[in-house]
Amino acid sequence: MTREWLLDTNIAIAFLEGHDRVRRRFSTRSPDLLPYITVAELLFGAEKSTRIATRTRVAEFVSSFRVLSPTETTCRQYAVTLARMEAEKSGRIPSNDLWLACLALEREAVLVTDDHHFDKVPGLRKENWLRS
């Protein structure tokens, strides 16, 4: 099975901003799926921007991926993961990020992120292309 990488918004932004480490990793790993949360957050950021070039760059970036949306299985994963986090008293993470983590868990994918609060999610595999 080919390993999948799902990108958090901070990694997608680093790529768009030309971060060397992220671009190098991107060239060797080339994800083809972009979680709906990441798409929505990128589009929101572009919408707030007054620069047409930013909106165009984000639109082109997003269009180069297939958008990964939640399924009923993702919803079950969300419920199980949140219940487990509460039972283990590991704390909570923002709802959008929990959905992103559950998409990765469901697909047995690696979440590429620079956010440490994902460490609270049991069983989630992570990589940080900004720091490694």
Question: Is the full-model pTM beyond 0.85?
Answer: yes
Show the domain range for 46. Answer: 5-125
CA gap 104, 112 in Å, rounded: 10
Q: How many CB atoms lie within 10 A of CB 79?
A: 11
The per-residue pLDDT for range 24-54, each reduced to its tens digit, is: 998 887 777 899 999 999 999 999 998 888 9
**Is residue 132, in this structure, part of any structural domain at all?**
no
Residue 31 phi/psi, 5-degree rounding, is -60, 145
In a domain, 74, yes or no: yes
Residue 38's CATH number? 3.40.50.1010
DSSP one-letter code for 19: -
Split into its structural domains, the chain has a count of: 1
- Dump pLDDT digits (tens) for 60-79: 999 999 999 999 999 999 99
Q: Is residue 105 part of a domain?
A: yes
Q: First CA to last CA across the chain, in angstroms?
A: 24
**Mean pLDDT for the chain overall:** 92
> Quick check: 126 and 118 in contact, CB under 8 A?
yes
Residue 131 lies in a domain: no
Q: Is residue 102 part of a domain?
A: yes
Cβ neighbors of 128 (< 8 A, separation 6 or more) are 112, 113, 114
